[in-house]
Structures are given as C-alpha cells and as structure tokens.
Amino acid sequence: MKKFFNCILLCLLLMAITPGRSLSQSLNCCVKSATAEFALLGADEKFQSEHLAPLPFNFVPAKGKMITVKTGDGRDASGFEIRPSTPSKKYLFVFQEWWGLNDYIKQEAENLSEELQDVNIIAPDLYDGRLATTAEEAGKMMKETKDARIRAIITAFLKHAGPEATIQTIGWCFGGGWSLQASMMAGKQTAGCVMYYGMPETDPVKIKAIEFPVLAIFASQDGHITPEIARKFEKDMIEAGKNINVKFYEAEHAFANPSNPQFNREATEEAHTHAISFLRENFK
C-alpha cells in the first residue's frame, strides 16, 4: 500500500512540474506493461471526452456467429467467428474498441471477411459479454480489465485456430494495443499486425522478439496515443531491425470508428486501403 501511495505522489509531482504531461505519461513509473498502462486511461476524463457515445446501430450477421471456447483459467470465452466457404488455415483476429464486441465490430468483421475471402475471422470478446454505450461505462470496463484474463481469452482462440494456422491481427484503440500483443503471443504463426491508435509496446526485450511486419496507424491530433509515443515506437522498432510501417492521419483519436459522430471517412478509407493491402500481401 505504501508503494502505491508513493507512486501516486510521484505521478502528481510529475504532472505538476511538467505542464501538459498526460496521465499515461505520469503513470509510466508505476506501470510495467503497455496494456496495463493503456487500461489506466479508462479513468482519465480527458481520454473519455475524446470518445463520443456511439451512434445507435443494429447489425444482423449474414455469415458470422458467436462461438464459445474454454480458457485456461477454467472459464468460457466467447467470440464472433466467420468461416470462409472453402476451408482455410488463414486467420484474422479482430480486436474491439473499448466499447466492447458490439454490432459495429461484428459488421467490420464481416466486411473484412468479404474483402479477404479465404480467411477465417475471429473477433474475441475481451469484455466477457459486457457492452458500453457511454464513455464513462467504457472507461470503467477498460480500467477493470485484467491482463491475465484477456491473455487467457486470446490464448484459447489461438488454440481454436490451431498450431498450423497463419495468423494476422487488426484492432482499434484498446483493441489496437491488443492486436499487437496477440500477434506477439502467436509467435512464429504470426504473419502480420495492423494496429490503429493503440498503445505500442515499450519493453525493448519484447520488441526484440517481434518477428512479423507491423502496420501502425495513428492520428496526428491524438492527445493520448500521441505522435511522440508513435514515433518512439517506430524508432525502437527500426533500431531493433524490425519491419514497421507507420502512417499518420490528420485526424483525432478513434477517427476510423463509424459509430463515432466525428468519424473521418476520408482518412478511414485511405487507412483501410493500406490495411487490406498489407493483410493480403502477408497472407500470400
């Protein structure tokens, strides 16, 4: 407990002496993982304000369905799965934003299935059935996420795909960070990772272990996953001899989410074109 309070005092001191310093930057001294650091942003009111409530939407899946798998922690996990008409060992994992596995993500999964054709699509439910409709709810859910539970869910779906599967990942915001982490978890089975404005990995040991290409898409006006954070990740990857392509768009955080009232269609379409080209190339 004493260590916790010392950490909080240090964070407050850093914020006081460094004007403009974000909560995530100040908490670096206390948080050991990129995913845990990003989860803490759930309590940041400014971060919440960057996410307008999603527009109402109801999607009826044409091909996908919810499935259940057993996780290593003795529980069940659910996910939205779409199988191609012809059996394939190619798998794309689709990771939700902080709202949860809602109809927008399911629609995006089906759209990706149409564009990639011979690829199995899996969108794991990282919130275990919970959905948020307000930024406050989403922030609370994201903050309460347990790293071990999410990794158990991802591991179970990697086993579901099988040891011969070729895997790529894609995700946005909360799911952008987990897209990278899942690709790292899949190890030698990973063919590529697309991450949209998610928290990058900062541990040099983990970065050194990355053996797959990364397409990292960021917003130049993002106040939390800032251009500085993105450029640092790019620099670390390049110095480690890794394959990374970073693209910036003149937009705000969550610009590619169609449920966002401030959805940036032009930037989204351009980024999506790059993402599909990247995924197709790496699935060859």
The Cα 255–Cα 51 span in angstroms is: 10
The string of pLDDT tens digits covering residues 184-242 is 999 999 999 999 999 999 999 999 999 999 999 999 999 999 999 999 999 999 999 99
pLDDT at 36 over 90: no
The domain in which residue 2 lies consists of 1-30
DSSP 3-state helix, strand, coil percentages of the chain (rounded to 5)?
45, 20, 35
Cβ–Cβ under 8 Å, residues 120 and 93: no
The Cα 196–Cα 254 span in angstroms is: 8
Residues 8, 101 share a domain: no
Give kind and range of the element (H or E) at residue 77: strand 76-82
Phi, psi of 272 (to 5 degrees): -65, -40
Residues 173, 127 share a domain: yes
Half-sphere exposure of 97 (CA within 13 A, CB side): 30
In whole numbers, what is the pLDDT of the chain averaged over residues?
Answer: 90
Q: Which residues, in sequence order, are CB contacts of 164 under 8 Å at separation 6+?
A: 89
**In the β-sheet with 244-249, what is the strand arrangement from edge to edge?**
65-70, 76-82, 120-124, 90-95, 166-172, 190-196, 214-219, 244-249
pLDDT at 8 over 90: no
Q: Read off the pTM.
A: 0.88
Residues 69, 23 share a domain: no
Question: What CATH number does residue 243 fall under?
Answer: 3.40.50.1820
Residues 265, 136 share a domain: yes
List the structure tokens of 92. Answer: 């794309």
Residues 55, 13 share a domain: no
Which of 162 and 56 is assigned the larger pLDDT?
A: 162
List the structure tokens of 118. Answer: 């011979």
The Cα 99–Cα 132 span in angstroms is: 5
The Cα 269–Cα 12 span in angstroms is: 40
Residues 242, 208 share a domain: yes
Count of the separate structural domains present in the chain: 2
Residues 24, 138 share a domain: no
Q: Which residues of 214-231 are buried (b: 16+ CB within 10 A; e: fewer)?
A: bbbbbbeebebbbeebbe
Q: Which residues of 162-178 are buried (b: 16+ CB within 10 A; e: fewer)?
A: eeebbbbbbbbbbbbbb
Residues 42, 25 share a domain: no
The string of pLDDT tens digits covering residues 134-191 is 999 999 999 999 999 999 999 999 999 999 999 999 999 999 999 999 999 999 999 9
